[in-house]
Chains A and B, each alone.
Chain A
Amino acid sequence: KNQVEQSPQSLIILEGKNCTLQCNYTVSPFSNLRWYKQDTGRGPVSLTIMTFSENTKSNGRYTATLDADTKQSSLHITASQLSDSASYICVVGSYNTDKLIFGTGTRLQVFP
């Protein structure tokens, strides 16, 4: 069964600290992996998209990694800011379908 699991479910850190969010997937055939940021009361916004051949991609202070062999991805946030407080959703796409498999997200809270 195609699944995407994320850990931790929630995370609290202090402003300025780094953190890493994890994503494990069992989606086949794998096509791409995306990380979305969802602020409270808003729709998800794409941070990164990686295909099978890419193992890292950055977007400002966000860096995503992908290990297609172990079917794991991580999202690293550097020098966190209060505005990073949001849910981060790992999403996996498969070939020949537009359907995406969504993780349930990690809720990150950054405190001053």
Chain B
Amino acid sequence: DARVTQTPRHKVTEMGQEVTMRCQPILGHNTVFWYRQTMMQGLELLAYFRNRAPLDDSGMPKDRFSAEMPDATLATLKIQPSEPRDSAVYFCASGLGTSGLYNEQFFGPGTRLTVL
């Protein structure tokens, strides 16, 4: 049963600390998305990659957020330094396809981040 996996599932940290979230996309998928979900804003796209190349990170606060794909089986989202307003659930999703076509996105279980 192919699934997107994310670690950690929960993270509590103090303001100013670095946070790294990891995602393993479904094997063979070439597109990886990072989303943030809050009660107020719903799901927001932070960044996404195709074939490991970053295509769009306009949704990310550039000064503190960074996203990378060291290899095809790992995507990371890093926040440094973290702030209380970063508290949210962060989802990774993966899919297979070409830009312009509608592609199914499969979501991971999310990382619930709390910044105190």
* Bind each other: yes
Taking Cβ atoms with an 8 Å cutoff, the residues of A that contact B are: 31-32, 41-46, 49, 51, 89, 93, 95-100, 102-105
Report the interface size for chain B: residues with CB under 8 A from the other chain: 25
A43 in contact with B108 (CB, 8 Å):
yes
Chain A residues near B45 (CB, 8 Å)?
Answer: 99-100
B99 in contact with A43 (CB, 8 Å):
no
B28 at the interface (CB under 8 A from A): no
Total of A-B residue pairs, C-beta within 8 Å = 50
A93 in contact with B102 (CB, 8 Å):
yes
Given contacts A42-B110, A102-B43, contact A96 B105 (CB under 8 A): no
Chain A residues near B24 (CB, 8 Å)?
Answer: none
A98 in contact with B110 (CB, 8 Å):
no
Smallest Cβ-Cβ distance to B93: which chain A residue: A43
B42 in contact with A32 (CB, 8 Å):
no
A98: shortest Cβ distance to chain B, in Å?
A: 6
26 contacts between A and B (CB under 8 A): A31-B102, A42-B109, A42-B110, A43-B4, A43-B91, A43-B107, A43-B108, A43-B109, A43-B110, A44-B43, A44-B91, A46-B104, A46-B105, A46-B106, A49-B102, A49-B104, A51-B102, A93-B102, A95-B100, A96-B100, A98-B50, A98-B56, A98-B103, A102-B42, A102-B43, A102-B44
A112: shortest Cβ distance to chain B, in Å?
A: 27
Smallest Cβ-Cβ distance to A32: which chain B residue: B102
Extra pairs beyond A98-B33, A105-B42 (20, CB < 8 Å): A41-B110, A42-B109, A42-B110, A43-B4, A43-B108, A43-B110, A44-B91, A44-B107, A46-B106, A49-B102, A49-B104, A51-B102, A93-B102, A95-B100, A98-B48, A98-B55, A98-B56, A98-B99, A99-B45, A102-B42
Chain A residues near B102 (CB, 8 Å)?
Answer: 31-32, 49, 51, 93
